[in-house]
Structure 1
C-alpha cells in the first residue's frame, strides 16, 4: 500500500503544483478569460493567489517531508489541506452547475483523503 500512496501522492503533487503555478502569477482578467477558470470572476485576486500558494505548499508537503523524513506528519496534514481546498472547489463548481469539474474535484478529494489516511 506504501507504493500506491507514493504514486497517488506524486500524481496529486504534480496536479496541484501545476494548478497553483498557473494561479499565482496570473491577473484576474487572464484567469476570467480562461474558459476553465470562469469561477474566478467573482472572487478577489488575493484569494485566488492564496489558493494557488496553498496548492503549491500542499504539493510540496505531499512529497518532501516524507521523502526526507523531516517532520513526516506534514504529509498527511498537507493532504488534509488539499482535501479542504477540493471541498471549496466542489461547492464553487456545483453552484455554477459545472458538474464535470465537480466530478474531477470529487476524485481529487478522494485521492487526498486516501493519502492522508495512509500517511497517518
Structure 2
C-alpha cells in the first residue's frame, strides 16, 4: 500500500505542478485560448487564476518534499486534502457551467487526492 501511495503522490505532483505552473506563467487570455477545456477561466479574475495555480504548485510540492527530507511529513496529507478541495471546486465549476465531459478529470484527481490523504492520515502515515 505504501508503494501505491508513493505512486499516487508522484502522479498528483506531476499533474498539479504542470497545471499550476501553466496558470502562474500564462496570462488569462492565453489560458482561454489554449482550448475549450479552459473556458472556466472566463469566470475568474487573473488574480484568482494565479491563486489557484499557487495552491496547485504548493500542493504538488507538499506531497513529495516533506517525506523526501523527512521533515514535517504531516504536510503530505494536508497537501492532499487541499488538492482534493481544489478539485472539488473544479468539478463544481464545470458542473455549474454545464461542461459535463470536463468533470471527469477533476473527479479522478479528487479521488486520488482523497486516497492519498486517507492513506497518509491513517494506516500508512510517515
- TM surpasses 0.5: yes
Map Cα deviations across residues 18-64 of structure 1 (whole Å, 9 max, x no partner).
00010001111111112221110121000000000110000000001
Indicate the larger mover: 4-13 or 33-42: 33-42
Q: How does 1:34-49 map to 2 (within 5 A)?
A: 34-35=34-35, 36-49=37-50
Instruction: Give the SS at the match of 1:100.
Output: helix
- Mapping for residues 50-69 of structure 1, pairs under 5 Å: 50-69=51-70
Indicate whether 1:28 and 2:28 are aligned: yes
Superposed displacement of residue 92, structure 1: 0.6
Give the deviation of 1:100 after TM superposition.
Answer: 2.2
Is there any run of 5+ residues in structure 1 with no aligned partner, and where?
none
Cα distance in 1, alignment partners of residues 62 and 104 from structure 2: 24
- Root mean square deviation of aligned Cα: 0.8
How many angstroms apart in 2 are the aligned matches of 1:42 and 1:114? 30
CA distance in 1, matches of 2:74, 2:19: 24
TM-score (norm 1): 0.96
The separation in 2 between residues aligned to 1:118 and 1:81, in whole angstroms, is 15
- Number of matched residues? 120
Which TM-score applies when normalising by structure 2?
A: 0.92
Give the secondary-structure state (helix, strand or coil) at the position aligned to 2:25: coil
Q: Which runs of 4+ in 1 moved over 2 A?
A: none
2:124: which partner in 1? Answer: none
CA distance in 2, matches of 1:12, 1:93: 20
